[in-house]
Amino acid sequence: METFELLLSGFMQAMTPQNLLMAGIGALVGTFVGVLPGLGPTSAIAILLPLTTVLEPTQAIIMMAGIYYGAMYGGSTTAILLNIPGEVSSVPTCLDGYPLAKKGRGGPALGVAAIASFAAGTLGVIGLVFFAPFLADQALKFGPPEYFALMLLALTVMINLAGNSIVKALIMGVFGYLLSMVGIGPSSGMPRFAYGSNDFTGGFEMISIIIGLFAVTEVLKGIEEKRTAVSFGNIGSIYPSMADLRKSVKPMFQGGLVGFLLGLLPGCSAAVSTFLAYDLQKKTSKHPDQFGKGAMEGVAAPEAANNATSSAGFIPLFALGIPASPPLAVLLAGLMIYGLAPGPVLFEQNPKFVWTVIASMFIGNLMLLVLNLPLVGIWARLTRVPYGILAPVILMLSTIGAYTVRNSLFDVSVALVFGVLGYLLHKYRWPVAPLILCFILGPMLEQSFIQSMAMSAGNPLIFFKRPLSLSIIVLSVALLFLSLNLMRRTKQRVRQETGQQAEIA
């Protein structure tokens, strides 16, 4: 009963004109930040953090939180319409969102993305209200062995991202892992694969690789195809049909649940949860062969996971003072600047602040839905911009996005090189998703393995002696065999359908 009273009090404070304005500004700025490739919520919050010192602490944190979950939604826009993910976590959305846009269904896909983001984001905030103490306590049970097992579980996704060849997917995965090793070693603190270069010592920036493999590659593909405009005919209704919504309800729930649970774990980014949510939806679908060709479920699941992860991350941040992601680490710095110490004491000493911010997140998620559904039509019109105008704009934004992450021309060069590489990979049908997944998971996998070995004095049996890590490893093996079986059945179904079509012809 006390929780309801505190939440109601929070809503009364969040509904004041100043706090509503901050929530609206955060949601709007966050959406545009997500749309622009390379900028991201971390950079945006860091840039705006000094400017927020003129605001009251509650207003500042409300605005920065709005930028965070607004950016999580915004990345889906260019992912669906232009095959350019604004965020790393939007990469799985490209797999089915862009094919839907090419079929003239970009509008409904954006609508489903907005609704899935709203539903899952709201689910995450409800969890923050009712289950924060219990779930935060469970998250603390995850040590290095559990994280290593969790990364192995995430790697099973590669099988379903393999396309037509598991061998190609494994090669690309190893390539992605090798790329992640460039830079400072986590245990030795010494440069690896740097060859005496200061640029290589800093390692490769994920955003630069993403911009290259998607944005620059898309421009090169457009030049080869001699596109005159990015137009796929009729975009369709800007609102999804009832059939689309019925298809999307289960993926929204599944993706939201996966994203919420993984969002509680520090270091488990939205990029990991979106890949896992997409993979789970493909495994449980009655028509797995439709994924990658324009399945609406393939948009709903990762987008739900994306926003649920961002909302759930506030639980360990507020309850334990542990940031679950880089944007939340910047928010933690903001809390410290204002003299607000996160943790159990925060709820006791500053209940008015905490519950006002939590209530504002409900309002912010609703604002995102209200703002973005009417704007779907505007986003859809992006596809009708003449390609001669759009291609230079994409390259300009890509260059700026790659540069601003670390203010480095090296990152711009990396984006251009991976743009050419991405074009060649697309031309010869090599999957890029396994490369990205292993690049993301590589450092976490390596670090958790090193920490686990240090805990056990080099005994690898530690992964099997701990019940939680053993359970996750068993689940990983089971999912691996399930994925291989699913791929085999999908190929058989495709061959049968192809043979039937040939007989009819």
373 vs 356: CA distance, rounded Å: 26
Q: What is the 3-state secondary structure (H, E, C) of 93-141?
A: HHHHHHHHHHCCCHHHHHHHHHHHHHHHHHHHHHHHHHCHHHHHHHHCC
Read off the pLDDT band of 500 (50, 70, 90).
Answer: very low
Could you say which DSSP state residue 350 is in? -
Running DSSP on this structure, what letter comes out for residue 229? Answer: B
202 pLDDT band (50/70/90 cuts)?
Answer: confident
Model confidence over 81-129: pLDDT tens digits? 777 776 777 888 888 888 888 887 877 888 888 888 888 888 888 877 7
- Number of residues that make up the chain: 505
Given a cut of 70, is residue 200 above it in pLDDT?
yes
Structure tokens at 68: 């965070």
Q: Are 34 and 77 in contact, with CB atoms under 8 Å apart?
A: yes
123 burial (CB, 10 Å; 0-12 / 13-18 / 19+) is buried
For the four alpha carbons of 161, 167, 168 and 173, in that order, the dihedral sign comes to positive
The encoded tokens of residue 2 equal: 């006390």
According to the model, what pLDDT value does residue 420 have? Answer: 93
| Pair 447, 184: CB distance under 8 Å | no
Query: Which of 195 and 162 is assigned the larger pLDDT?
Result: 195
| Residue 197: how many other CB atoms lie within 10 Å | 12
Question: Does an H or E element contain 446, and which?
Answer: helix 433-455
Q: In terms of pLDDT, which residue wins out, 491 or 488? A: 488
Per residue in 328-341, pLDDT tens? Answer: 777 877 787 777 77
pLDDT in tens, 396-432: 877 887 887 788 899 899 989 999 998 999 888 888 8
pLDDT over threshold 70, residue 160 = no
Lowest-pLDDT range of 157-171, 266-280, 329-343, 377-391? 377-391
184 three-class SS: strand
Residues 12-25, mean pLDDT to the nearest whole number: 89
Q: Scan for tokens 């240090």, then name that residue.
A: 454
pLDDT at 487: 67
Residue 474: count other Cβ atoms within 10 Å of its Cβ: 12
Locate 447 and state its tokens.
């670090």
Work out the mean pLDDT of the chain and round it to a whole number.
79
Largest pairwise CA distance in the chain: 74
- Sign of torsion, CA 497 108 272 82? positive
**Alpha helical stretches, state H, 264-386:** 270-284, 297-312, 314-320, 326-337, 344-349, 351-381
C-alpha–C-alpha distance, residues 375 and 370, integer Å = 9
Residue 485: exposure state from Cβ atoms within 10 A (0-12, 13-18, ≥19)? exposed
Nearest by Cα to 88 from 240, 254, 214, 223? 214
Taking alpha carbons only, the member of 17, 136, 127, 42 closest to residue 358 is: 127
Contacts of 328 (CB under 8 A, 6+ apart): 68, 313, 314, 317
> Which tokens is 121 given?
């984001």
Q: Which of 323, 407, 335, 330 is nearest to 46 (CA)?
A: 330
Q: Given this model, what pLDDT does residue 80 score?
A: 83
pLDDT category, 502, cuts 50, 70, 90? very low
Report the SS3 class of residue 20: helix
Answer for the pair 66, 45: CB distance below 8 angstroms, yes or no.
no
